[in-house]
Amino acid sequence: MKILTADYILTCDDDFSIIEDGAVCFDEKIIEVGKKDEVIKNNPYAIVKHLSPNSVIMPGLINTHTHLEYSANKTTLIYGDFIKWLQSVIANRDKLKEDCGAECYKNAIEQMLLSGVTAFGNISSFGDDLDACFESPQKIVYFNEILGSNPDFIDDVFLNFEKRLQKSYEFFSRDLIPAVSIHSIYSTHPMLMDMALNIAKKDKLLISAHFMESLAEREWIDRGEGDFYEFLKIFNQNPKPMQNAMEFLEKFRGLKTIFAHGVVCKKEELKFISKNGSLSHCLVSNRVLNNPLLNIEEALKEEVSITIGTDGLSSNNSLNIWDELRAVLFAHSHIDVLKLSKYLITFATVNGAKALGLDDVGMLKIGKSADIITVILPDKVLKKEQLPLELILHTKEVKSGYIDGERCV
């Protein structure tokens, strides 16, 4: 049993309580959170470690959407236009996949870990990242991706998906949870979706889907026109949208889905997402692919649970979640900075945990798993209301991290 004491405990509980001169006592689970003197008095046999001045203890951070298999990308893929990027992914994915060996996966996972990410959602297109995920200390929801629009290949594509899903079941543990990813409305045939979602329903698996990420996607789905039409003509002489947005969404009703991006959603779509899952905000990815900025306030008005995703290195220069949080903070310049900072910490902790179905993390509270990170700020924070903002501005790496009470950083 251990006790960590710090200047601030950011509990991320329902009241967003911040405890000054606090402590957390834990083994694999959190035993007590409170004022330093009381926690030490109540747990006399625990080993006490006093963190340095300006220390903060908070829940481990959660990245709900990444693609480890694209971690070899630095400057290969084309940014600035969603369709051009998609074409460059198709042209380069085999090479990028080959270039990401064990070391590349290890570095990507370590970058997340050092930034304090103790749990993440990974979209796996090929199953090549399974060993690396198995070996990582973090809790991972492993989304096996399915996509394909040609009805002639449905059976082959589904067989390949089933094989990958099966393989991920062999690694099933508390730390690696198999799940399903429906790539998107423009790339996945409704029949394929039904087949994959039937498995998700039967096995109670979490789902992830890219949804309404670009204006091109909106135009294609609503009117069958635009850049997507030109792009899809390469594969099909007379391409047509396979379903409309609500038909696509309806397939996820009653399931639990993380919708990635959602930057060009209509009100009724946001309403649907709020009742059937959550949204992963991948701001840097949206920016480099020249996609619109998510309207956070509109999504919150519809009671959407927003989480933070870095997306893969296929559309980001960093998997460090603090880099992402800083970018989000600066991009949404019309939202009050203190209010947004508080939101962002909630998005990256409690909301992320709920979205990934990890109900025992994301908050420092008695009985939750001891997934904890510590950060040392460069100086004193005079008012605790400033703490979320100062954390986002100054943190690059955590001082230490624990998963189920075991030291992992």
Query: Per-residue x/- marks for ligand MCF, 71-90, CB under 6 A?
Result: ---------------x--xx
User: Which residue stretch of 17-25, 211-219, 240-248, 308-316 sits at the interface with Fe ion (rule: CB under 5 A)?
Assistant: 308-316
Interface mask toward ligand MCF for 119-158; x: CB under 6 A? ----x-x-------------------x-------------
Residue 32 or residue 219: which is nearer to ligand MCF going by CB?
Answer: 219
| Selected binder of ligand MCF within 315, 349, 351, 400 (CB under 6 A) | 315
Q: Which residue of this chain has its Cβ atom nearest to ligand MCF in the complex?
A: 125
Interhelix angle 190-203/154-170, nearest 10 degrees: 20
Question: Whole-number minimum distance, CB 164 to ligand MCF, in Å?
Answer: 12
Active-site residue identified among 145, 213, 269, 324: 213
Q: Where in 337-396 is the site for ligand MCF (CB under 6 A)?
A: none
Contacts of 223 (CB under 8 A, 6+ apart): none
- Answer with the entry of Fe ion, ligand MCF, none that 347 interacts with (C-beta below 5 to 8 A by kind): none
Least separation in angstroms between residue 309's CB and ligand MCF is 8
Place of tokens 């796996």: 124
99-118 positions binding ligand MCF, by CB under 6 A: none
Cα–Cα distance measured from residue 13 to residue 4, given in angstroms and rounded to the nearest whole number:
18
Q: Select from 322, 310, 308 the least CA-distant residue to 375.
A: 322
Residues 200 and 171: their CA atoms lie apart, in Å, by 17
CA dihedral 167→170→171→176, nearest 10 degrees, is 80
311 in contact with Fe ion (CB under 5 A)? yes
Looking at the Cβ atoms of 227 and 311, the one nearer to Fe ion is 311
| Residue nearer to Fe ion on the CB measure, 137 or 312 | 312
Among 36, 183, 189, 218, binds ligand MCF (CB under 6 A): 183
Residue nearest to Fe ion (CB): 311
Cα(121)–Cα(384) distance, rounded to whole angstroms? Answer: 31
Stretch of residues binding Fe ion (CB under 5 A), selected from 15-23, 43-51, 171-179, 311-319:
311-319
Instruction: Check if 297 is active-site.
Output: no
Write out the catalytic residue numbers.
213
Residues that bind ligand MCF (CB under 6 A): 67, 70, 86, 89-90, 123, 125, 145, 183, 187, 210, 213, 260, 285, 311-312, 314-315
